[in-house]
Structure 1
Amino acid sequence: MAELLTTELPLQGLRVIDLADGKGEMCGRLLADLGADVILVEPPGGFASRQKAPLLGGESLHFASHHANKKSVCLDLQSAEGKAAFLALVDSADILIESRRPGEMAELGLDADTLRGRRADLIILSISDFGQTGPYRDYQASNAVQLAMGAVLARSGIAGNRPLLPPGELALETTAVQAAWVALLGYWQKLHTGTGNTMDFSILEATAQVIDPGLGVTGSAAAGRSANELAPYGRPPVGFLYPIFPCADGHVRICVLNPRQWQGMCGWLGDDHPFTDPKYGNIGVRFKEIKQINALIAALFADKAGEELVAEGQKRGVPIAAVATPEQVLNDSHFNARGAFVELPVAGRQGKLPSGYVEIDGQRMGLREPAPTLGQDNELLSGLLPRPAAQVTGSAKRRPLSGIRVLDLGVIVAGAESGRIFADQGAEVIKVENTAFADGLRQTSAEGVAISQSFCQGSRNKKSFGLNLRSPEGIAIFHQLAKDADVVLSNFKPGTLESLGIGYDDLKALNPGIIVVESSALGNTGPLAKSMGYGPLVRAASGLTGLWCYPELDNSYSDSITIVPDHFAARVSGVAILAALIRRERTGVGGRIAVSQAETLLNVLAAPLLRESLQPGSLKPLGNTIEFSSPGGVFPCAGDDMWCVIDVDSDPAWLALCEAMGRRDLAQDPHYANAEGRIAHREILEAAVADWTAKHDALAVMEQLQAAGVKAGKMHRLSDFDDNPHLNARNFFRHFEQPGFPTVLQTENGPVSFSDLPEPEIRPAPFQGQHTRELAATLLGFDAEKIEQLVADGVLEVMKENEFITA
């Protein structure tokens, strides 16, 4: 189990009732990790997820990993006695999380209006597949269906091949973290207004926002282009920017992008190859010869071990990582030196479980107690005291994070998103930047466009303050800003803030309440802490790349265009920051938050990694096989590159599918009467389904099967989103005008479509240094003469006069 904590848990004293079963479970787990008292309310037979595969000795590894740190009470909500006990529990709580199908809570007489009528300041978070309203309200989904309908599947795989399901339960796991962000936003609003909230959270919408959002920030390699501009009709070609090479004991991936990195790689190749001319430091020039260059690198790497290559790359400044297998991940010296895994007893054995998403004040916010046995905490139901009702002190239409000031040093995707999600909710987010070390998102390849679309999406609602942090005067000014700030965001290489004199200890001495966030590729401690941080290397080191491939095709790694985990890691940071702000309300003290982007992926794969530690070899690439469902997978439909995901995970769904296909012979065959039989005959059944779907339109397949109660989803492309009736009905889209950009930009709305929170106010992204003079005067008290002198001295930087600005 985890070591004893020496820091006060941020959410200590917060009580959460958790009814999430089968989806959204990691939302409550994350809140519990951060110290909340999370109480499962289970029916007499226990949650269905207690039997969710895989099982070991009758214990669900999914349940063990998703319900650790929680408590369990057993109540029959169909009975008057059980309902009365539940309502008494509600009276003692702050937040209720439920994941039942729309309308089920109302059927129990426990709908939001009833519960809020009893306790007006309750935060109710309803997590459902498609939300409580809209044309798809009653549809059912699985992880695979969400990936298809959320436009993730369409971009996954390799050109010329079928679309490829990403590994693990990427949609369900990442959206649960966004749900935790939403829950804490509601709670923070309650602390400052006294009002509760009813929050209608859709997994589909969160999937479209958190994994590879069509309307979000793209990586620096995209040169400012949007995901829509980058997305081909089919799968992308094999990528050359982040190539993977065989080595003596596996594979390694490199990310050689800038001239300095190429200089290191060029020297590694020796001094007698044909690409030593300095002109090849330019990525555009180099890319014209990339096949020949990669052939040289492949020959250099072929007979060397991955560990040797990573060490040499580190020495030469070449960003590199091993494409780790699950076994290598579990035994990785860096992860284990950091305590990224903790032992968990399961069925009389010791497994290894990722130890939590985040560190606060140097301590892991992770496993403290194993998942509860059914009803083990029923005694807490006696003697429950109602929590005093919060007094209404402000308007519920207040933007929840208004009054919070964030100094945003973040760059590229994870950095941009961390600040953006705070700015959307009313925080004053000041992007501190300098042209000498410009944010890569500001580059644009489009002619006549002064600001990239990607930067606009990631920095909307922010202000820009041009400041030279490489000068003593600039550091002094940053210190002055920090005295009145709440949060500092960064995603630099570990140690950078300290080397500049603006690390947590420096800032805490000036402002004890400040919260400093450091997000990095592999964490801020451990032997590889100072590795170059690129998403493709993070995915390789965490094992995701090795799992994201076609099992039957060698070297078919298919994560070349995804930007996982950047958007998701930003939400992890956001949850931790809100938790630290909540703790500061009690203690007056801030804190230091550290997020390892690689370890966010380890936690996404928590259950599969736990299983691998107990059953070596169990975690392997599955392609489009849904391991515990059959028929299940990605099926061809009529038309050009049209597909539908179907996931049959119950006997009734199997019979409904057979009826839809007109195959009563299959329904009556005893070999297929249960899940075990269907899985054993997967090839036969899935061939039959593919033969049927190929004759029908993908939308028609989805609609017919959903009407019959079968989980099915058409593979949507980003180009389908504008006309998506469900997303439009749920106010998923917003628009804004951006000075310097020729057209109105479409963007995403807030993280939860329907709640008592106000929608984000969408303001344009800033030009570099656009607000320097304004902020220097209002926040620092500098007069005009001093400001202009600091600009002349190169300490402050202001927007160039030729930047296109409108009032």
Structure 2
Amino acid sequence: MGSSYDPPLAGIRILDLSSGPMTAVGRLLADLGAHVTAVELAGVTGNVEVGPRFGPVALATAINRLGVAPLGIDASTPAGRQRWDGLVDAADILIEDTRPGSAAERLLGVDEIRAAHPGLIVLSLSDFGRDNDFSGWQSTTPVLHALTSELSRSGMPGREPLVPPGEQLPYHVAAAQAAVAVLSVLLDRLRTGAGDRIDFAIVEGAMQALDPPFGTMGTASAGVPVAQQNRNWAAERLRYPITACRDGYIRICLLAKRQWHGMFEWMGRPEEFADPRFEGLRERLTSASLWSAIGAFCADKTRADLEQNGQKHGVPTAAVLSMTEALTAEQVTARGFFGHAEFSPGLVAPVPRGVVEVDGQRAYAVTAPVHAERGPTSAPILAQRRRTDQGLPLEGLRVLDLGVIVVGADTGRLFGDLGADVIKIENAAFPDGMRPGRNLMNASFAGGHRNKRAIGIDLRSAEGRTLAHRLVEEADVVLTNFKPGVAAGLAMDHDTLMSVNPGIVVVDSSAFGPTGPWAQRLGYGPLVRAAAGFTKQWVYPSDPDEFCDTVTVYPDHVSARIGVVAALSLLVRRERTGQGGAASIAQSEVMLSHLAAEIAGEALARDGHERSDAAAYDAPWGLFRADGEDAWLAVTVRDDDDWRALCGVLERPDLAGDPELATKAGRDRYRTRIDQAVSEWTCRRSPADGMILLQAAGVPAGAVMQAADLPQWEYYAQRRAFREELHPHGKEPYVLENAQLHSERIADPPLGQAPLLGEQTVEIATTLLGLDDAAVAGLLERGVLQTAPEARRV
């Protein structure tokens, strides 16, 4: 790391009392330069560990604690209390995960801490939040997947839903959402002095950041909202098809006409597919004869040949790699994404070296600094901006959004939901691929681009670039997610824009990162999953060649949140230095970071180290049939207390009293017997009834919900998670996400509706660019500016 590198969050002091998978929040912030102290506070902090363990080392937590200073305190002693009070006095942020209503929560006394330190930001993590009737419920990875609706879209029809790979995947994506919340509140505190308490529910964060059922959807959905997508195996396999080849499998993407034209040429222009109807996306996705021909074309070729020639013809392709192949791929090696960490003497394993590049350097906390200068305590730049106390922490910021498809939509939308003035810049000749048409609107675009204004500018022209640069002069952030090099060609890259506005923050996101041999590859989420080893793992153990990751749009939504975290961090640094900065995110690296513990564990096992942990959960764990068509219930038992509680709910004292089942090892040995007992109970009840009974007893359980069920579930209703919005260009109301964070001071998102292409062009040109009517008319006539035509409802 270069000596000139200035970590964005340098001097920000964080006390982290969390344990278990949500320690990923502290890791994200530490990588960006915050001084994070992992405090073990007697009577308060827990000891939740999941995932691979080698000797005393729990890998997931150990990885999250790299670069984090450990500290144990017993606040019941005078000396310990004095030390704890001193740490809180100096802290900017406190992260805690006490269970709502527990003795630990009372002992910590967050309300008293907030009263004594009104400028402190407290991030309170819990499974279901603290302000609702479900605050005592508990979650695990399968339960989170069930209650976010992810499981309803994963797996083969007729079989149990398939839990996606990654023991802690829902927690990792929720951690990114939590980091967005913390940093947006921190940025606002710098100009107001007011702290806050954020009531963060992990289930909600996982729902919003993994594969949101009412969020933006991928192009291959062919206009079918996520909320209407179920496990239709035949349709799923045609969205991003995987085809067998000589040495494995290849995934091919033919979403755009130009991609189909490339495939047509590559195949030798077969006459049977020359019909113009194949230029239609739906025709291509549903043509069994076409994909049969593509399969025959690929059968005798290697993955490497198909990747090379696919890219040459402009056809996005990616080999389906194993995790080992993915980790040794030339792109991962060239970018130096993995380094090695020693967790204990002789216990050395590969770990990710940060998921954000800042100013061309990897943002990665190698060691915790012993001394750190204080971070900014005020906001000399943002203090000059208008603020109306509407509870929107990013009010006064201006964001220029050049982003496209899902990552682009979500990154800008999060800024808009939190109060920023977001201006979407688009060219009618190259519209956002997620738009249903220039004068059309659908649920996906409405959800992904709400709270934005739109201006149409032709950035290919010198006049258009001049106008865009005038907007940059008064902007704070520019967002892009083009293929590397495209933004520079449009003069909208950081190197160009910093000469226009030295304080500008530019964030770019791409499939594989801005450097390396794969930088220029066309990459959509499913291609990234294939190349990162994720697709290969998203299978039933009994059917390793039936890949089940097609419908999800992961990692797009979580990558967007990492982009927002990077931008907010650079805005915090700007208040300290007056200078902007650049951040880059590789979506493939975000994904690999979510498997960090598994990757390290496999490497250690190959080196001869033995795991010392048992399975993540006792028997039973997994999905059980419930009463109803395709009805399922996720049930997990973590320990002896859960086992006794389960036996009580099942009314099976014979199981509770059986000495062979008294230990975790015994329950695992007799899993078939236990699973049968649970199944006999669940199949007589609806998923919702079974979930309620088990959760009331303290057993983590979750009904496998369809996306359309979520807005009606009382939990999400109490958390104001969704809202209906009647868009002026929509036929019927759309269901959209609502609250992005819950706190003492932050309001729900504004009601700004997604714009048509160039809908506010004239308004922005006259008010922000200062052009008169005649100048605007001339620019419109020459096509430098573009505005929305008459809209049609769809």
TM-score band, normalised by shorter chain: over 0.9
Structure 1 stretch displaced more, 79-88 or 508-517: 79-88
Q: Distance in 2 between matches of 1:172 and 1:646?
A: 18
CA gap of 1:105–1:410, structure 2 versus 1, over 3 A, is farther
Q: Spell out, residue by residue over 1:189-211, the C-alpha distance to the aligned partner (whole angstroms, 9 max, x if none).
A: 10111101011111121222112
- By how many angstroms is 1:104 displaced? 3.2
Q: Distance in 1 between matches of 2:411 and 2:637?
A: 37
Q: Spell out, residue by residue over 1:458-485, the C-alpha distance to the aligned partner (whole angstroms, 9 max, x if none).
A: 1111111010111111112112211221
The CA RMSD measured in Å over matched residues stands at: 2.8
Map 1:631-646 onto structure 2 (within 5 A).
631-646=620-635
Instruction: Answer yes or no: is 1:440 the counterpart of 2:433.
Output: yes
Which of 637, 643, 648 is 1:659 aligned to?
648
CA gap of 1:268–1:683, structure 2 versus 1, over 3 A, is farther
Which of 590, 593, 596 is 2:580 aligned to?
590
- By how many angstroms is 1:48 displaced? 5.5
Q: Distance in 1 between matches of 2:59 and 2:469?
A: 48
Describe the SS at the equivalent of 1:401.
coil
Letter in 2 for 1:464: A
| TM-score relative to the length of structure 2 | 0.93
Q: Distance in 1 between matches of 2:25 and 2:425?
A: 32
- By how many angstroms is 1:55 displaced? 1.2
Q: Distance in 2 between matches of 1:251 and 1:386?
A: 50
Letter in 2 for 1:368: V
Map 1:300-699 onto structure 2 (within 5 A).
300-347=297-344, 348-369=346-367, 397-443=390-436, 450-616=440-606, 627-699=616-688
* Counterpart in the other structure of 2:611: none
Describe the SS at the equivalent of 1:329.
helix
- By how many angstroms is 1:103 displaced? 2.5
- By how many angstroms is 1:188 displaced? 0.9
8 Å CA contact 2:30, 2:365 repeated in 1: no
- By how many angstroms is 1:804 displaced? 6.1
Structure 1 stretch displaced more, 233-242 or 517-526: 233-242
| TM-score relative to the length of structure 1 | 0.92
- By how many angstroms is 1:444 displaced? 5.9
Letter in 1 for 2:133: P
* Counterpart in the other structure of 2:691: 702
8 Å CA contact 2:42, 2:73 repeated in 1: yes
Map 1:89-104 onto structure 2 (within 5 A).
89-104=87-102
Describe the SS at the equivalent of 1:703.
helix
Q: Distance in 2 between matches of 1:250 and 1:355?
A: 30
Describe the SS at the equivalent of 1:286.
helix
* Counterpart in the other structure of 2:68: 70
Q: Spell out, residue by residue over 1:711-766, the C-alpha distance to the aligned partner (whole angstroms, 9 max, x if none).
A: 11111222222321111112222333311112333322232134311222111111
Map 1:130-149 onto structure 2 (within 5 A).
130-149=128-147
- By how many angstroms is 1:182 displaced? 0.5
* Counterpart in the other structure of 1:28: 26
Q: Spell out, residue by residue over 1:19-41, the C-alpha distance to the aligned partner (whole angstroms, 9 max, x if none).
A: 11124211111000101011111
Map 1:82-231 onto structure 2 (within 5 A).
82-104=80-102, 107-168=105-166, 169-228=168-227, 230-231=228-229
Letter in 2 for 1:424: D
Q: Distance in 1 between matches of 2:236 and 2:769?
A: 51
- By how many angstroms is 1:798 displaced? 1.3
- By how many angstroms is 1:646 displaced? 0.9
Q: Spell out, residue by residue over 1:640-686, the C-alpha distance to the aligned partner (whole angstroms, 9 max, x if none).
A: 21111111111111121122222233323333322233234333322
CA gap of 1:46–1:453, structure 2 versus 1, over 3 A, is closer
Q: Spell out, residue by residue over 1:597-641, the C-alpha distance to the aligned partner (whole angstroms, 9 max, x if none).
A: 1111111111111112222499xxxxxx97543211111112221
8 Å CA contact 2:12, 2:35 repeated in 1: yes
CA gap of 1:390–1:590, structure 2 versus 1, over 3 A, is closer
Q: Distance in 2 between matches of 1:275 and 1:667?
A: 64
- By how many angstroms is 1:51 displaced? 5.3
Instruction: Answer yes or no: is 1:42 the counterpart of 2:21.
Output: no
8 Å CA contact 2:617, 2:636 repeated in 1: no
8 Å CA contact 2:190, 2:378 repeated in 1: no
Describe the SS at the equivalent of 2:273.
coil
* 5+ long unaligned stretches in structure 2: 609-613
Q: Spell out, residue by residue over 1:506-530, the C-alpha distance to the aligned partner (whole angstroms, 9 max, x if none).
A: 1111111111111111111110111
* Counterpart in the other structure of 1:739: 728
CA gap of 1:451–1:606, structure 2 versus 1, over 3 A, is same
Q: Distance in 1 between matches of 2:683 and 2:7?
A: 54
Letter in 2 for 1:328: E
Describe the SS at the equivalent of 1:466.
strand
Q: Distance in 2 between matches of 1:685 and 1:540?
A: 36
Which of 705, 717, 729 is 1:716 aligned to?
705
Letter in 2 for 1:205: E
8 Å CA contact 2:39, 2:71 repeated in 1: yes
Structure 1 stretch displaced more, 734-743 or 514-523: 734-743
CA gap of 1:385–1:175, structure 2 versus 1, over 3 A, is closer
Describe the SS at the equivalent of 2:630.
coil
* 5+ long unaligned stretches in structure 1: 619-624
Instruction: Answer yes or no: is 1:795 the counterpart of 2:784.
Output: yes
- By how many angstroms is 1:389 displaced? 11
Q: Distance in 2 between matches of 1:258 and 1:252?
A: 19
Q: Distance in 1 between matches of 2:379 and 2:517?
A: 48
CA gap of 1:617–1:409, structure 2 versus 1, over 3 A, is farther
Letter in 2 for 1:173: H
How many percent identity over aligned positions?
Answer: 39
Describe the SS at the equivalent of 1:262.
helix
Instruction: Answer yes or no: is 1:784 the counterpart of 2:784.
Output: no
Describe the SS at the equivalent of 1:314.
helix
8 Å CA contact 1:521, 1:596 repeated in 2: yes
Instruction: Answer yes or no: is 1:284 the counterpart of 2:273.
Output: no
8 Å CA contact 1:631, 1:647 repeated in 2: yes
- By how many angstroms is 1:259 displaced? 2.1
Structure 1 stretch displaced more, 241-250 or 487-496: 241-250
- By how many angstroms is 1:774 displaced? 1.2
